[in-house]
Amino acid sequence: ELGKIISGFVLAVTAIIFIMGIFVRSDGILKNFMTSVAVAVAAIPEGLPAVVTIIMAMGVQRMSKKNVVIRKLKSVETLGGCSVICSDKTGTLTLNKMRVTELRCDESCKTKILQCMLACTTVKGEKGAYIGDPTEIALKIYADDNGFDKPFTRLAEIPFTSERKMMTVAADFDGERCNFVKGAPDILIEKCSFVLTGEGVKPLTKEFKRKITEENNAMSDDALRVLGFAYRSFDGAALEEGLIFLGLCGMTDGIKEGVKEAVAECKAAGVATVMITGDHVRTAFSIAKKLGIAEDMSEVISGEQLDSLPARERERAIADCRVFARVSPKHKNMIVKALKKRGKVVAMTGDGINDAPSIKTADIGIAMGKSGTDVTKSASDMVIADDNFTTIVAAVKEGRRISANIRKTIQFFLSTNLAEVLAILIASLVFFKFDFLLSTQLLWLNLITDSFPVLALGMEKEDADIMNRPPVRAEKSLFSKSSIASIAFFGLYITAVTVGVYAVGLKLYGNEVATALTFLTLSFLELFHAFNIRSERQSIFKCGIFTNKILLATVALGILVNVLLAISPFAGAFGLVSLTWRHWLAAVGLAASVIPVGEIYKLILRAVTRRKKKASPI
């Protein structure tokens, strides 16, 4: 869209200049063609794609030092507009170091539960150095701590799936063959017909179910992950019906350091944090409340509830909720699509193979470096090396800095190129009998003067309040009212000074001096304007004059190169004549005026913003 606007404007201006040259000045087709091409080259910021790519590449390098591996360059800029982060709970928000802290069962059931804990694991390794799923490792360690390490023979197995939320293993302990089942209590209890008590096996009545549900809810409210255990006799096949309920265990998983603060930082930045977990609704809410993700149970919904809702209500529920419990990978994809449909820029984390579709669908797919599978990493846009939510927030902050710096370089290119084209157009219409800027001068301005400050602008530090602003899509921020106003204001001011210098110089000193004076003034104007671009609203003095030393160096180098050109033997090739010290003083002084004018513009802008804030209802 930007390319179309620039191309259309440039073609119109070059056509006018070409026609004016042919019919009014009678310069000949070749000279007019060369001038028109020079204007087109000057107007089109052909260096912009390269500069933007370099800025993003430098951002990738900075992110790599913060445990972020960028796989797709475009995601660097997309991060700056991120409005929703959908994060897994386990391992990203929490430590993923489970520990059994509570066991609720009759004492007579403990041996059977320990058998179930031991059988229903796929943990490898020796005691003290187990390898496997953290939940299963916690169960294995609990059995070890209770001195239970009996050998058994595995007879059959129904592996755990996120849809069933259960695992069944048929095992032989000293000749006793049983089907052992562990899983989510609310699902497991529906598969049970009996319960083991101190008085033996009894039918699982409504009263027993109520007590088990209350105990499950109580532990979930304490932010514990709760597992249920059951068994039945083995009759040659692994079965999950007619089970005998044994009891519950609660496991704790500590919250990672800095996550709560990172969630608060996201909130201040207008970025919603969404927690996705396979845990019970109450467990999920308890942890989300501790982290500041959710304040009320109305912000929590389960995968089963999502499935039961009509499409329109489901989309509304997804937009309103901040915690999704008891979900499967298919729900992740559903959540991402619904949020994107509402215009959100969505980042989605994942580690398993089944997470790949949702990561691919998201605007920014984030794979976990430690726990993520190769399939998930291949589908992602970026990989978090330390599996930490705080790293994601740091990446968003860096993305905002990069996005802002890209916007600054585009504003610089557009405002200076607009000034060049408007100045040439006005001069062609008003001073058509005289030479304004030569084609070689225009090419010098575009290839040398414009190129010096842009990379330095790309290395600008972030504004202090960058994480206190609402997120904005990269394409929308470029065409925002404030961006267009800034481009137009500075473009018109530089045009006015340039044309004014030429008009006065033409009257007082003649065409050759006027052209040389105009060229140098415009060169210095563009270089000094880089200081205005450093921040859209903040004063250059608040940003710190010496905080971007590279920009100071490039502007100084740009001035030096232009001075050397003007006094070198090559000056004649660029249509430059010898100037007096008064001419040089006028060129530098008028060019430097763009900085105080920029300060006044920003002062007015800040005043208008404050007035709007006061006028807006709280």
Instruction: Note the pLDDT tens digit of each residue in 301-330.
Output: 999 999 999 999 999 999 999 999 999 888
Position 26 pLDDT exceeds 70 = no
Domain residue extents for the chain: 2-67+395-615, 79-94+256-387, 99-252
Mean pLDDT of the chain: 89
Give residue 108's pLDDT band: very low, low, confident or very high (50, 70, 90): confident
Of the chain, the percentage scoring pLDDT greater than 90 comes to 62
C-alpha closest to that of 116 among 137, 143, 135: 143
CA dihedral (478, 481, 482, 487) positive or negative: positive
| Lowest-pLDDT choice from 52-61, 180-189, 439-448 | 439-448
Query: Span 418-441, mean pLDDT?
Result: 84
Residue 327 C-alpha from the chain's centroid: 24
Give the tens place of pLDDT for each residue, 479-522.
778 888 999 999 999 999 999 999 999 999 999 999 999 999 99
The residues assigned a catalytic role are 88
| Cα separation, 350 vs 199, whole angstroms | 46
> Which residues, other chains included, contact 312 with Cβ-Cβ below 8 Å and sequence gap of 6+?
none
Give residue 25's pLDDT band: very low, low, confident or very high (50, 70, 90): low
79, with CB counted inside 10 A (0-12, 13-18, 19+), is: buried
> Which residues, other chains included, contact 337 with Cβ-Cβ below 8 Å and sequence gap of 6+?
361
Query: Span 201-214, mean pLDDT?
Result: 95
State phi, psi for 489 to the nearest 5 degrees: -65, -55
Pick left, alpha or beta for residue 544 (phi over 0 → left; psi -120 to 50 → alpha; otherwise beta): left
Identify the pLDDT of residue 2.
63
Position 3 pLDDT exceeds 70 = no
* CATH-assigned architecture of domain 2-67+395-615: Up-down Bundle (1.20)
CATH 2.40.50.140 for domain 99-252: no
Structure tokens at 615: 């006028």
Identify the pLDDT of residue 618.
43
Beta-carbon neighbour count of residue 24 at 10 Å? 12
Give the tens place of pLDDT for each residue, 384-428.
999 999 999 999 999 999 998 998 998 998 899 889 888 888 887
Let me know if the fold of 79-94+256-387 is the same as that of 99-252: no
Position 477 pLDDT exceeds 80 = no
Give the tens place of pLDDT for each residue, 249-284.
999 999 999 999 999 999 999 999 999 998 999 999
C-alpha closest to that of 253 among 232, 279, 218: 279
* CATH-assigned architecture of domain 79-94+256-387: 3-Layer(aba) Sandwich (3.40)
Of the chain, the percentage scoring pLDDT greater than 70 comes to 97
